[in-house]
Amino acid sequence: MFDDPRAQFFENVLPAYSAFIESLKSDVSGLSRDLRLGKDAALALFHLREHVPWAKGKPWPAFLKACPDYGLLQDIVNVFKHGARHNGQIAKPTDIFETVVLTEYEDAEGTYHSAEKEVTIHLRDGSRRDMKTVLTAVLTMWVTEFKAQGLLQRFELPKPEPHVIPARCTANGGAPLNLEMRQGLRFRQVYRLQKFNTETGKIEAVDITGHNYTFSIYKAPPVNLDISLTNNETGEKIEGTVQLSPDETLQYDGLNTDEERETFGAAIARKYAAQLLCRQID
């Protein structure tokens, strides 16, 4: 990976960035997954300068002129690596955090919400930045740098997706979002409420001063799987139902295709075969 600039880009930088973007698209929030992947992408994008020959001797101001957000990326990396800082645009690591953005829309049935995720950067001056936009700006700069060196000539970054009004997902207007947490470990979740203005076609912040919001978290019901095992030599069948553990239930809920569920079921059958056999003997 470190032996060739193109390999460094395609085997380290781009996969780290893409993993972060894909994580933001998922409907699961928790365990600081988005934050961790954002950190990985930030480190890969910032330190690429140390691994490409033409960039090592390039003056620092030239990078900032090409991409002002490269300076902010340096502060992001520094605060992740070294903790609280007395200088720079970010004061401490906890000023970079995951946010669930709830946007309010209206249709013929009334008000409904959509939920999106972002990693928010709270700057020392009180303003906020979205880490996705910062990392995308730096990635775009690097692609331009590579092309100027005759590299990545056929590579093109995806065009920004236009904002479209999402359709209502639930009858009551709630925004579906799965929360993931670990027993005994603190759970931190930040929410931001905003509203789509149908007259201006723009999203506006919602002032929640003086308002109280409550929500409920329910433990997912256990998942039971019916298992049937057949002895290839005797033809004897062992059938029964097993209750998945919380971790297995979470894994099962994340499966998307029948093939994935079939593979998962086969693994569970092997795991609980002895338990089912004991039940049948009893």
Contact 90, 75 (CB under 8 A): yes
Same domain, 10 and 110: yes
In a domain? residue 213: no
Percent of the chain with pLDDT over 90: 49
Lowest mean pLDDT of 55-69, 102-116, 163-177, name the range: 55-69
Mean pLDDT calculated for residue range 114-140: 96
At 177, the pLDDT band (50, 70, 90 cuts) reads: confident
Lowest mean pLDDT of 15-29, 74-88, 182-196, 227-241, name the range: 227-241
In a domain? residue 219: no
Domain boundary (205, 236, 269) is at 205
**pLDDT score of 134 more than 70:** yes
Per-residue model confidence (pLDDT) at position 276: 65
At 219, the pLDDT band (50, 70, 90 cuts) reads: low
Same domain, 199 and 231: no
Query: What phi and psi, each to the nearest 5 degrees, are found at residue 107?
Result: -135, -165
Per-residue model confidence (pLDDT) at position 279: 59
Contact 157, 195 (CB under 8 A): no
β-bridge partners, 227: 240
Per-residue model confidence (pLDDT) at position 252: 80
Same domain, 54 and 158: yes
At 218, the pLDDT band (50, 70, 90 cuts) reads: low
Mean pLDDT calculated for residue range 184-208: 90
Domain boundary (174, 205, 236) is at 205
At 212, the pLDDT band (50, 70, 90 cuts) reads: confident
**pLDDT score of 195 more than 80:** yes
Per-residue model confidence (pLDDT) at position 217: 66
Identify the residue with better confidence: 204 or 236: 204
Q: Packing angle between helix 14-25 and helix 131-148, nearest 10 degrees?
A: 150
In a domain? residue 23: yes
> Per the structure, how many domains does the chain have?
2
Same domain, 230 and 142: no
Per-residue model confidence (pLDDT) at position 182: 84
Same domain, 228 and 159: no
Per-residue model confidence (pLDDT) at position 220: 64
Q: What whole-number distance in Å separates Cα of residue 278 and Cα of residue 114?
A: 48
Same domain, 234 and 98: no
In a domain? residue 218: no
Same domain, 175 and 53: yes
**pLDDT score of 246 more than 80:** no
Nearest to 139 by CA among 61, 42, 58, 60: 42
Identify the residue with better confidence: 98 or 174: 98
Same domain, 142 and 256: no
In a domain? residue 41: yes
Q: What whole-number distance in Å separates Cα of residue 279 and Cα of residue 281?
A: 5
Using CA atoms, how far residue 282 sits from 226, 229, 244, 265, 278, in Å, is 19, 17, 22, 24, 6
**Tens of pLDDT, residues 51-94:** 888 887 777 778 788 899 999 999 999 999 999 999 999 999 99
Same domain, 181 and 79: yes
In a domain? residue 214: no
Same domain, 71 and 145: yes
Q: What whole-number distance in Å separates Cα of residue 51 and Cα of residue 143?
A: 15
Q: What is the mean pLDDT of the chain?
A: 87
Domain boundary (147, 173, 205) is at 205
Task: Identify the domain containing residue 170 by its residue range.
Answer: 5-205
Can you give the pTM of this predicted structure?
0.76
**pLDDT score of 259 more than 80:** yes
Same domain, 201 and 229: no
Mean pLDDT calculated for residue range 255-261: 83
In a domain? residue 257: yes
In a domain? residue 37: yes
What sign does the dihedral 276-277-280-282 (CA atoms) show? Answer: negative
Per-residue model confidence (pLDDT) at position 238: 72
**pLDDT score of 101 more than 80:** yes
Same domain, 196 and 133: yes
